[in-house]
Amino acid sequence: MAKYAGRGLWHFLDSPAILATTSKMGFGWHGLDMQHGLWSEPQIISALAAAPKGNIAVRLRSGSYADIGFALDAGATHIMVPMVNTAEEAQEVAHAARYAPQGGRSWGPMSALFGAPVLNPQEANSRIHLSLMIESAEGLENLDAILGTPDIDSIFVGPVDLAMSLGTDVDSLFAAKDSPLGYMAKACHDRHIEVGAFAGSSVRASAFEALGYDWVATDTDMGLLKAGAAQALDG
Ligand code: 3PY
Ligand code: MG
């Protein structure tokens, strides 16, 4: 399992060209968002075939066997599953992401078409980094049980949905006296599970890092484009 660390860039725009350009700029990792971003399945296949190996995470639309199998067959080594709310859901996702006997993934190493080695099932299992997104009041309540599920590599916190589900906003989540954001980081580390989060700005990235988060999506491709455009017009 690859370890994750550092500041990543979140890609809403389905552009292998933006990925190729920004991947030379020193981000620790890149997140390709199929849930809310524009990435289609053919674009994900092209991006993974062309991308430098090992630092791409794909945020799936769901934790279904079909969505998990598609991304892994296409060569993703890090998959993020949104809205995991219960230990039962976590178990299903973990089962779908690994070949037997560890899990129930169906054999389909399609990334060999683009030159990736065909690994035996055990090797393939060991290279996968599985992140579960906790981003609801229910997920937070069940965090301890979810963390007890075998074969989970990371928790990835979605603060926007989490805040909405808790009836608050992201700034208030950070400001709360017993912030769930701090509790979540500690709960993960107590179980020796890595924890990441979507920040969306360098200020928020620093705030997550101060709480002990191992890796953060610092900014987004759209955010950087807008900031660059505003600067160009101001300058
Ligand atoms: C959230 O904050 O809810 C996210 O899913 C970030 O992408
Ligand atoms: Mg979300």
Residues whose CB is less than 8 angstroms from the CB of residue 24 and which lie 6 or more positions away in sequence, other chains included = none
Catalytic residues: 36
Q: Which of 155, 111, 110 is nearest to 129 (CA)?
A: 155
Q: Alpha-carbon distance 74 to 190, whole Å?
A: 33
Q: Which of 215, 170, 210 is nearest to 193 (CA)?
A: 215
Residues whose CB is less than 8 angstroms from the CB of residue 36 and which lie 6 or more positions away in sequence, other chains included = 12
Quick one: pLDDT band at residue 109, thresholds 50, 70, 90?
confident
Q: What CATH number does the domain located at 6-233 have? A: 3.20.20.60
Give the DSSP letter of residue 105.
P
| pLDDT on residue 116 | 84
Q: Alpha-carbon distance 60 to 130, whole Å?
A: 11
User: Which bin fits 83, alpha (ψ -120 to 50), beta or left (φ > 0)?
Assistant: left
Q: Alpha-carbon distance 58 to 13, whole Å?
A: 13
| pLDDT on residue 4 | 72
Q: Which of 151, 135, 141 is nearest to 84 (CA)?
A: 135
Residue 212 Cα, ligand 2 centroid: separation in angstroms?
20
| pLDDT on residue 97 | 98
Give the ligand at the shortest distance from the Cα of 160.
1
| Cβ neighbours around 19 below 10 Å, total | 23
Residue 61 Cα, ligand 1 centroid: separation in angstroms?
12
Q: Quick check: 72 pLDDT over 90?
A: yes
Nearest CA to ligand 1 atom 6: 158
Contact residues of ligand 1, CB 6 A cut-off: 135, 158-161, 198
Quick one: pLDDT band at residue 32, thresholds 50, 70, 90?
very high
Q: Alpha-carbon distance 11 to 30, whole Å?
A: 7
Q: Which of 12, 78, 66, 18 is nearest to 40 (CA)?
A: 12
Residue 215 Cα, ligand 1 centroid: separation in angstroms?
14
Q: Characterize the bridge pairing of strands 194-198 and 154-157.
A: parallel
Mutate to test the pocket of ligand 1, among 32, 161, 201 (most ligand atoms within 8 A of CB): 161
Average pLDDT, the chain: 94
H/E stretch holding 155 reads strand 154-157
Q: Alpha-carbon distance 26 to 13, whole Å?
A: 19
3-state secondary structure of 174: helix
Domain limits, the chain: 6-233
Q: Is 56 exposed, middle or buried (0-12, 13-18, 19+ CB in 10 A)?
A: buried
pLDDT digits (tens, 9 = 90+) for 168-223: 999 999 999 989 999 999 999 999 999 999 999 999 999 999 999 999 999 999 99
Q: Which of 93, 59, 91 is nearest to 78 (CA)?
A: 59
| pLDDT on residue 3 | 63
Give the ligand at the shortest distance from the Cα of 57.
1
Provide the token pair at 108.
């389909």
**Mean pLDDT (whole number) for 17-46:** 95
Q: What is the pTM of this model?
A: 0.96
Q: Quick check: 1 pLDDT over 70?
A: no
Quick one: pLDDT band at residue 157, thresholds 50, 70, 90?
very high
Quick one: pLDDT band at residue 53, thresholds 50, 70, 90?
low
